[in-house]
Structure 1
Amino acid sequence: MRSMINSTQVSYFTLGAYFDTGVFKYLLFMVTLSLYMLIICANVLLIVVICMNRSLHEPMYLFLCSLFVNELYGSTGLFPFLLVQILSDIHTVSAPLCFLQNFVLYSYGGVEYLNLAIMSYDRYLAICCPLQYNTRMTFNKIAILIAVTWLCPMLLCFVMTSLTNSLQLCGTIIKKVYCDNYFIVKLACSDTTINNIYGLFVTSLSVFCPLILIIFTYIKILKICFSGSKQTRKKAASTCTPHLIALLNFSCGGGFEIVQSRFNMNNLPNILRIFLSLYWLTCQPLFNPLLYGLNMSKIRIVCKSLVFA
């Protein structure tokens, strides 16, 4: 029987999903670095555009700004770590850094879903209750919604990470390319019932509740569109299409991650499993700025004026 190790005594974890890429690791490093720089530039540009232009100080764009900040937050929790591991021959990570990354990536996912839910609620008010929009979506309400979007996932993930840190572990090998709470819990020798129950609770609050709100709001929006004028349908399509694409993209990426983590995927090539594992963390930070920047006419006009000024 393997010896029981208290997680507070573990000094490092080994990431077991990496494989030797030989000289190609330098090419992989450059591709990953380029992707990270592109994500930073695109998201920072749109944050600056929204913050510096008063014409964009509207609820929809402020929620978008929060979304772009979250993309930077999640990317910073992943990409610098990946870059170091790509060049390293020994894929180990200190326990404190591992738990910190675990907290950042899970809270990033929670903030993303809540932000998308609040954006759908904003579109619901704008399309279904246009006369009451300004009175119901006040600056104070916007500030409260954004604060809740960030604070709730942070609190939930802090408790989750603390519960995982208190487990007794029987190993240090995580079969991923980054630190993942589910795989750390799988290393436990002690009872994980509380962790599993709390994990379901966090998933329900962070994923299913926002999805229910999004589905409800879009059912209402579709009813208005089908019964409204052509102008109403055009407005709904222009503002809701990017949001729905972002939601489907992130949900598919998250779904792939859940499936390949919970079920035996040994029949899949290792490189494909790594791609599915990273997709939900890299797709949104890259696609969202392009998606909203190209589809939102106000943002597109301001960006053109800055670039070609």
Structure 2
Amino acid sequence: MENQTYFYFMLFERLGHMRYALFTLGFVLYGVIIFLNTLTILAVCLERTLHQPMYILISCLSINSVYGTAAFFPRVLTDLLSNTNTISYDACILQSFVIFSYTLNEFAILMLMAFDRLVAISKPLEYHNIITMRVLTALIFIHCMFPMFCLGISALFTSRLKMCDNKLWKVYCHNYEIVKLSCTNSLISNVWGLLLLIVTCVVPFILILYSYVRILIICHRSSSQFKSKAYQTCIPHIVILLNFSVAFVSEIILSRLVNLEIPIGLSVIISLQFIVVPSILNPLVYALNFTDIRKKIICLLKASR
């Protein structure tokens, strides 16, 4: 099989009339995701008092959610109404790149959030001198572009593999699933993928845990008022981190260690958690827990009437 070919999404074949119900559900979910994240982005952009590192990072999460879901929902909604369910090789590589760059960007932003909270709590008097807008912009750029650069190399390795099969048992393109269809030696792709996972996911996760452990230690030694304020800003970040990490780890385990040994429906739900759930949960958690964001969102909703 030549590389310039098509892949077939096999999981759409047996849906029957259920595809229309799934299309409606997917369309509603995508609309909710765009609506909630756009509100969060606008709230931070339009309210000058929210032009602070913590809120800017929250808006970055929403921008990343819009970016990641744009690679998934339009494609899957089209496939639900189509009878062919094919995707070109190049488009498949591109979709995989966008979805997983969204994933790695999420870890990078969560790591910067943890660092921001650690500096704010451990060195409150020096915070504004350490986390300046220039420093924050540089950190966001570096920590988001580096994973995308590494994923670009991974996509290059994958694009050079010769395919022996074109059946994908997913509802979206997944780099490791493409590599498994190769009939050539994919050792380089596998090793690079493992290194990429360690550098861009495992290392940030360890740094995030270290930051929050330090924060907990500092809070334990502080006054009850300080504890309350610190917990109020940190708990939403921890909830988001745990939700995203569990969802992503589930997808990794499903892809690499389990091969259609569980019901297909459950397999699809698990594989979509890291794309869908954080994109809805993030703006809800921050809107409910941060009064400034909630107030601005309410103002925006009232102004739109």
Matching residue within 118, 135, 139 for 1:124: 118
Matching residue within 146, 158, 167 for 2:140: 146
Distance 1:267 1:142 in 2: 44
- After TM superposition, the structure 1 stretch with the greater mean CA deviation from structure 2, 284-293 or 88-97, is 88-97
Q: Which SS does the other structure have where 1:14 is aligned?
A: strand
Indicate the residue corresponding to 1:70 in structure 2: 64
Distance 1:256 1:156 in 2: 22
The change in CA–CA distance for 1:186 and 1:38 in structure 2 (over 3 A counts) is same
Indicate the residue corresponding to 1:106 in structure 2: 100
Indicate the residue corresponding to 1:301 in structure 2: 295
Matching residue within 213, 218, 230 for 1:219: 213
1:59 aligns with 2:56: no
Map of 1:18-57 to 2, 5 A cutoff?
18-57=12-51
What amino acid sits opposite 1:128 in the alignment? Answer: S
CA shift for structure 1 position 148:
1.4
Map of 1:159-174 to 2, 5 A cutoff?
159-174=153-168
CA shift for structure 1 position 193:
1.3
CA deviation string 1:159-214 (max 9, x = no partner): 11011000111111111111100011001111111111110111011101111110
CA shift for structure 1 position 18:
2.5
- Calculate the aligned-residue CA RMSD, in Å: 1.2
Map of 1:195-234 to 2, 5 A cutoff?
195-234=189-228
Contact (CA 8 Å) 1:257, 1:276: kept in 2 or not? Answer: yes
Q: Which SS does the other structure have where 1:189 is aligned?
A: coil
What amino acid sits opposite 1:145 in the alignment? Answer: L
Distance 2:260 2:40 in 1: 40
Query: For structure 1, which runs of at least 5 residues remain unmatched after alignment?
Result: none
Contact (CA 8 Å) 1:265, 1:273: kept in 2 or not? Answer: no
1:277 aligns with 2:271: yes
Count of residue pairs brought into register by the alignment: 303
What amino acid sits opposite 1:72 in the alignment? Answer: V
Indicate the residue corresponding to 1:264 in structure 2: 258
Distance 1:231 1:271 in 2: 47
1:84 aligns with 2:78: yes
1:290 aligns with 2:284: yes
The change in CA–CA distance for 1:24 and 1:16 in structure 2 (over 3 A counts) is closer
Q: Which SS does the other structure have where 1:228 is aligned?
A: coil
CA shift for structure 1 position 6:
4.0
Contact (CA 8 Å) 1:28, 1:86: kept in 2 or not? Answer: yes
Distance 1:76 1:261 in 2: 22
What amino acid sits opposite 2:105 in the alignment? Answer: V
What amino acid sits opposite 1:176 in the alignment? Answer: K
Which consecutive segments of 4 or more residues in structure 1 shift more than 6 A? none
Distance 1:31 1:169 in 2: 34
CA shift for structure 1 position 20:
2.3
Map of 1:178-189 to 2, 5 A cutoff?
178-189=172-183
TM-score, length of structure 2 as denominator length? 0.96
Indicate the residue corresponding to 1:246 in structure 2: 240
Contact (CA 8 Å) 1:47, 1:69: kept in 2 or not? Answer: yes
Q: Which SS does the other structure have where 2:12 is aligned?
A: coil
What amino acid sits opposite 2:95 in the alignment? Answer: Q
- After TM superposition, the structure 1 stretch with the greater mean CA deviation from structure 2, 285-294 or 296-305, is 296-305
CA shift for structure 1 position 23:
2.1
Query: For structure 2, which runs of at least 5 residues remain unmatched after alignment?
Result: none
What amino acid sits opposite 1:200 in the alignment? Answer: L
Q: Which SS does the other structure have where 1:93 is aligned?
A: strand
Distance 1:95 1:299 in 2: 42
CA deviation string 1:43-97 (max 9, x = no partner): 0111011001110000001111111100000010100011011111222111111
CA deviation string 1:243-291 (max 9, x = no partner): 1111111111111111111123534211101101111111111110111
CA deviation string 1:203-243 (max 9, x = no partner): 01110111111011111100111110111111111111111
CA shift for structure 1 position 24:
2.4
TM-score, length of structure 1 as denominator length? 0.95
What amino acid sits opposite 1:35 in the alignment? Answer: L
